[in-house]
Homo-oligomer: A and B are copies of this chain.
Amino acid sequence: MCGIVGISNCADVSFSLYYALYALQHRGQESAGIATFNGSGLCKFKGNGLVSEVFSEATLSSLSGSVGIGHVRYPTTGENRPENIQPFLFSFRGHVIAIAHNGNLVNYRDLRTKFEDKGQIFWSTSDTEIISKIITEEIRKGGTIEDAVRKCMECLKGSYSVVMMYDGDLYAFRDPHGIRPLCFGKAGDSYIICSESVAIDALAGTLERDVYPGEMIHINQDGVRSKQIAEARHRGHCVFEYIYFARADSRLDGSLVYDVRRKIGAQISDDEPVKADVVCPVPDSGTAYAVGFSEQSGIPFKECLIKNRYMGRTFIMPTQKKREQAVRIKLNPIPDHLNNRSVVLVDDSIVRGTTSRRIIETMRDAGAQEIHMRIGSPIIKAPCYLGVDMPTRTELIGSDKDVEEVRKSITATSLHYLSVSALVEAIGIPQEDLCLGCLTGCYPVEITNEVCDNRCITIVDRDFQTNLFHH
């Protein structure tokens, strides 16, 4: 997963990008980068680490200009190479271009071979480089950026939310299924396009709306222009963004994530009532679910696991024999809240099951009598090919185990998952417009050896109004 942002018409744009990336940091902690256009060329700074580690006041000050893009990167492909840090920069016939991309292309290999057959060289293993090849190919043929985006929507299979600078012009587009989020807004005179609305909040701006799936937005000194390039029969918004990935205070495609989670918490209380002394979340991902569960069930909300707020990326793991204790450094159980109690433990999802089992063990060591696990998502059965770093089927505890088998494995007193239909209702988007691949094994795009409900894409080329903003 990654976070992207583009800002235009903004004095000190590098500082605004920095604050926006801070707000998107949860989408990627491996590397961060900013590129700006200073009127004649590109300035950039990229590095491994958190936004706070990569940038200094001096480096931000060196990134001049009033338009720029930024990126935080999560190691989807597992290849931590400097060339793969985004934004990607290149020049073509005197024009300078920078691209930042969130998503995953499932036909990367095919497209790469196709381009290599034309003699193109690849510097990186990132699929962002494929996008840059398509764009320059179209420009070389005399096309515009709009033509290039159209070509992308024809060729690319998978998820892609993209922000791009072409000299001083800012462009953004989102795949026709709208798999990864992308939205835009305004702060003062500046325009912001970003993965989640929290980046607009960080700049004290106002969210305008989500970028429509298949839409392209173009911002320069003449204003903000939009065009619907392509449409899919059905959208495919990723449900895992709501379940886990997005920040609770983000609005995604119309819904506030916190409230989706709170509603789910209430729902799982109704679905499978339980008598218990206390409702306790696995922090921080289970908190909003637990708040909803407590409110609906009337069982008091009380934190029983305290999270260490200082876990660095470089935490040194204990030796094997002490590994079991390691969970306590991250999540410390409070015996006073657990001893001889019956506890509802609420989390967003179970992936491998290892962490859940360890948490339950430490809670039982701390005296808990009953631990009723409640999960804010359906059972995860299948991998993600569209940008979430999910393990393979072999590692997914839910791929070949039923609920009772999972319960035994994690040693919970009882276990309940949310149903798919309840999830869909909580999100408030029709099921056919969601990607439920990891829950059902059926994906919105064709993937080799996987089932696909064909949501075919049509090029539409429909103009929107020239000025997108109501204000």
Contacts and interface: CB of A to CB of B under 8 A. Distances in A.
A298 to B, nearest CB: 10
A310 B122 contact: no
Given A22-B310, A291-B303, A316-B57, A118 B119 contact: yes
Interface string A4-15: 000000001001
Interface residues of A, number: 81
A341 interface: no
Given A300-B295, A301-B291, A318-B15, A121 B132 contact: yes
Interface string A42-60: 0000000011110111001
Interface in A300-327: 300-303, 306, 308-316, 318-319, 325
* Of listed A137, A249, A308, residue having the most chain B CB within 10 A: A249
B50 A256 contact: no
Interface string A323-343: 001001100111011000000
Contact of A308 (B23, B60, B251): B23
A113 interface: yes
B258 A308 contact: no
A117 B137 CA distance: 9
Interface in A22-81: 22-23, 25-26, 29, 50-53, 55-57, 60
A93 to B, nearest CB: 5
A198 interface: yes
Given A122-B91, A288-B303, A306-B249, A258 B334 contact: yes
Nearest to A325: B204
Given A19-B329, A122-B90, A288-B303, A53 B201 contact: no
Contacts of A121: 90-92, 120, 132-133, 136
A198 B332 CA distance: 8
Given A120-B120, A140-B117, A303-B288, A312 B247 contact: no
